[in-house]
Structure 1
C-alpha cells in the first residue's frame, strides 16, 4: 500500500482548513478589485485591497512551505495561477491609478486566474482530507458550500457594478438567478443539531443581510450599491466561518 504523508511539522487538519481559506481569500480579492473599479479607484478601498493582498501572499507562502515536496502538481499549478493573478491584479490597479480605465483583456485574465486557483485549492483541500482520512463535519460542509455560492453571487453582482468602467460580465457557468436560489435554499439546510443559541443568532443575522444582497441583485433597474453589498458579504463570510466551527 502507498501512504501519502505530509511533512511532520504540518498538521493535516490545519493545513486542509488553510488551503480552503486561501481559496476564499483569493476570491475575495477579486471581488474587492471589482469594488475598487466600481468606485473609480477609491483610495481607501485600494489600501484595503493592498493589505489583503499582502496577507494572502503570506498565507500562500505558508501553505507552499507546509506542503513541502508533496502534491507537486497541485502546488505548481497553484503557484502558476497565483503568479498570473497577482501580475494581472497589479497591472489593473496601476491602470486605475493612472487613467481609471483598466484593459478589458487583463481584467478577464485576472478573473480567469483567480477562479482557476480557487478550483485548484478546493481540489487540493479535498485531496489532503482524503489522504489523511479527515472527516469534515456537516456544519463545515454546509458553510463551505454557502461560502462559495455567496462569492459567486456577489461576483456576478459586483461585475455589473464595475461594468460601467469596462469590466466584462461573466457569461459561463451558473447565472445569478440560479446561484441566488441555491444560496437561499441552502440557508434553510443548516444542520439543526448544531443550532445552539449563538448559532441561531448568527444564522438569523446572515438571513437578514442576505435579504439585502438578494434584493439588490434581483432588481437590475435599481441603483447599484457595491459598498453595502461588499460590507454585508464580508460579514456573512465571517459568520459562515464561525458556524463551521
Structure 2
C-alpha cells in the first residue's frame, strides 16, 4: 500500500513540476503533506522554476512568518536555496505553510509525527479501578488500544475508553472492576495523517498490568503471625524440656546415698 502511494506521489510530483512554477518538497504530493519529528529540524523548500529565488515569500496559517510569534527567532530563510527552516521544532509548529512567488501560491500541510508514552508497569488490586493514560504528542493523534491481539472499544461493558484533558482521542483506558483475568499487556497505538499516508509508522508503547488478589495484602501479616507462632512454640518446647531435665536431676540427687550422707554430716 505504501509503495503504491509513493508511486502515485512521484507521478503527481512530475505533473506538478511540469505545469507549475512553484514545486514544494512534499512528503506526500497527493495530500500536499510534510511531516517532521518534534525537536528535529523542519525543512521546507519551494523550487521556483520560472523566477528568481528572491521573489519567494513564506506564510504560516495565512500570516507572514516574520510576524508569527510562535516561531519568532527560531526560523531562518535561505533564499538562494528556496528554503524555510525551523531548527528545533515543537508540537505547535504544525499548520499550513504557504510559499508564494509571481502571483502563485502553494500550500504545504505540515504535521508533527506522533510520540506516545504509557507507564511500563501498572499494579492494581482485584476489584479496584484500573486507569492507563497514553500520553501522545503530535498533530491530531488518535489512540487505539489493544489487549493481546484484541482491539479494545467502548462497545464492551468491561472497558471504558475516553479522551484526555488535551483532547487526544481515546487516550485513557479504564476498567471499573478489575479481575485477575485482566492482567497482561495493553498496547497504545497512535495514528494521525503522517501514519495514514504511509510516511511514518504507527507510534506504539506497551504497559504490563499486574493484578493482585484481594487477600494479597494479608499475606505479609499472616506470614508474620506464622513466624511468631513458630517462635513461641519453640520457646515453649525448650522451656518444657529444660524444666523436665532440672526435675530429673533433682530426683537423681535425692536418691544418691553419698549425697544424702554428706548432707547429714
Return the structure number with greater helix share.
Answer: 1
Do Structure 1 and Structure 2 share a fold, with TM-score over 0.5?
no
Could you tell me the TM-score, scaled by structure 2's length? 0.19
Q: Pick the structure with more strand per residue.
A: 2
TM-score, normalised relative to structure 1: 0.20
Q: Answer 1 or 2: higher relative contact order, Cα 8 Å, separation at least 6.
A: 1
**Greater Rg over alpha carbons, structure:** 2
